[in-house]
Structure 1
Amino acid sequence: MKYGQSRNVQETVPQKRRLKTKPLLILIGILFTSNILWFIGWLIPDKSKQPDEEVASVAGEAITRAEWMTAMERAVGREVLLDLVNHKVMETAAKKSGIEVTDKEIELELALITSVDGRLHSGLDIEQTRQKIRANLILGKVLSNDVVIDDASVKAFYDKNESLYNILTAYRTSVIIVPTEEEAEQALDELSKGSSFDALAKELSIDLASASLGGDIGYINAETETVDPAVYKAASKLKEGKIGDAVKLQDGTYAIIRVNEVVEGRMFSYEEVKDHIRRELAIEQIPQSVSPEAFWKEFDAKWFYGK
């Protein structure tokens, strides 16, 4: 179906199913690129530094700042610029189409996504997370703008899948994993003296995936199966911004846990989620995935890498 074509859709809704994952997959791509952008922003030092400054050496041979920056641009420059252009394209599309995204919509999407895979947001701070959800909402609204889904189909989906909108409380959590209780106590002592949790996670944590992100493991809830149950149990007892005592994990290691944000669980009514369902059902009718690049020509988007 071409963009701009209207369609009236009535579907028979199967029992107990989730909506297709096109928007979620798009969001995963956006978030992955954003993690790269965040990582580069963390690495790039002060602009006052000279390009011929030595940043490393091997057998006495220097590696300069200019060589480092050139290598990073070659490795991830295209993806980072693509993310920036796509963000601008979607904001332009929103203005042209008169699309608005409210804070309430962002909070709903955040709650729904944390119930599916909270790790999608790891590596992004809270504000970045909401920005990426906003971009995904704009794309979804643009794509579904001219697809008509009748009220009966929306209500039928909600009635068959009402439990999907009973969202558990989720905790945006960071961890430092160390081999022994003694090392955990030493880390807690450093934190009590003002050391940065993120920096210590990068330095000490043996969980390399979260360590590279300052310990961030995203949002977890009572049904999260990808983390040790002791992590959730400890997180659920902490308030936002607080660090708990060391806890022993099933593999014998120890975790220090910080809760960065709490998204309170709740049951969303039909009225609260009907627009979300309508949009997702509409996107399901589009025969193939559509990315922001599909709108480049319309908004005269150009970039360094050509076509």
Structure 2
Amino acid sequence: MNSKTQWGIIGFLVLLNCLTVAYFLTNSQGSVKQVATNAVLDSVTEESVGKIGDTVITRQQWLIELENRYGKQTLEDMINEKVIKQMADKYDIQISKEAIDREVTMIKSMYNPLDHEEINDEQWREQIEMSLLLEELVTKDAVISDEELQQFFEKNKDLYDIPTTYHLSHIVVKDQEEANQVIKELENGSSFSALAMERSLDVFSANQGGELGFVSEESGYVPEQYIEIASELDVDKWSEPIKVEEGYAIINLKEVIQGVTYGFDEVKDQIRRQIAIDQVQGALSTQSFWEEAGVSWFYGKE
């Protein structure tokens, strides 16, 4: 495994850990507020939310069960988000749009939705900003020489050389006649994702609507002609039938990330964080800032 792949995996796993936390932060807040509101409104009622024969599950029973299962973790996630923002303001830590753009580009170039849940761009940017703020907070006291930063950059320079990358999905069918039929259905307004789930022979991607993720010439897990044809497609367009080993394929281009090579000055802060994080024992955590932020909560002290 080359150094680019190794560091790419390491960097992605570190950030994915933060993204996972941030993902639950993003998706839990609205539901928690609604649950809390409903709990107040329905505290004196016995509204039914489910019935099995003569057995009724009331809204109050349901809300109590939700709190027992998810309440503590959801509240902790909400607190962590507030703590990160408060501590970032205290230490005047900000993440530039350019830094977020760069992280988005680098992560997408390694991202495969077959292994991870697909996230839209707005969610990605919010999660990346939150994770970078946490990284900056955890490593704010780290002192790393310019010489060490430069050495890391030179040793891993290919990590910052991002090839042009295509976000693709595909439909694989047994023969050209069926492929032509698929194209007719697409031209008549059918959903590419729905057709992939219904018709595609590629069982690994069919359940994901034909999703292949972000691929480049270096990816190695899609046919070479996919990249060649994708480079000629417009975004949101599909190809003519392509002869492949399993039969014929139609590919759909969702997004293009233009290739870019980042210089040392552009990634210097990212390298500093990476080296410092490698020196931190254990996973990145917001817990160490709770006391400083004056956190108190329903569940008391750990």
Q: TM-score, normalised by structure 1?
A: 0.69
1:113 is displaced (CA, Å) by 2.5
Give 1:142's aligned amino acid. L
Is 2:87 aligned against 1:99? Answer: no
Give 2:221's aligned amino acid. T
8 Å contact from structure 2 (residues 19, 131) kept in 1: no
Output aligned runs, 1:217-256, within 5 Å.
Answer: 217-250=212-245, 252-256=246-250
1:265 is displaced (CA, Å) by 0.6
Change beyond 3 A, Cα 1:20–1:166 = closer
Give 1:182's aligned amino acid. E
1:25 is displaced (CA, Å) by 1.8
| Matches of 2:253 and 2:222, distance apart in 1 | 14
Which of residues 120, 123, 129 is equivalent to 1:125?
A: 120
Q: Which has the larger radius of gyration?
A: 2
Match of 1:28 in 2: 16
1:166 is displaced (CA, Å) by 1.8
| Matches of 1:143 and 1:20, distance apart in 2 | 21
Give 1:155's aligned amino acid. Q
Give 1:104's aligned amino acid. E
Match of 2:269 in 1: 275
| Matches of 1:228 and 1:82, distance apart in 2 | 45
Which of residues 258, 262, 268 is equivalent to 2:256?
A: 262
Taking every aligned residue pair, what percent have the same amino acid on both sides?
33
| Matches of 2:254 and 2:209, distance apart in 1 | 12
Which of residues 265, 271, 279 is equivalent to 1:285?
A: 279
8 Å contact from structure 2 (residues 174, 247) kept in 1: yes
When structure 1 is superposed on structure 2, of 149-158 and 122-131 the one drifting more is: 122-131
Match of 2:129 in 1: 134
| Matches of 1:100 and 1:258, distance apart in 2 | 37
Q: TM-score, normalised by structure 2?
A: 0.70
Is 2:145 aligned against 1:145? Answer: no
- Which structure 2 segments of 5+ residues have no match? 28-46, 52-56
When structure 1 is superposed on structure 2, of 160-169 and 94-103 the one drifting more is: 94-103
Give 2:93's aligned amino acid. I
8 Å contact from structure 1 (residues 20, 284) kept in 2: no
- Which structure 1 segments of 5+ residues have no match? 1-14, 39-49, 55-63
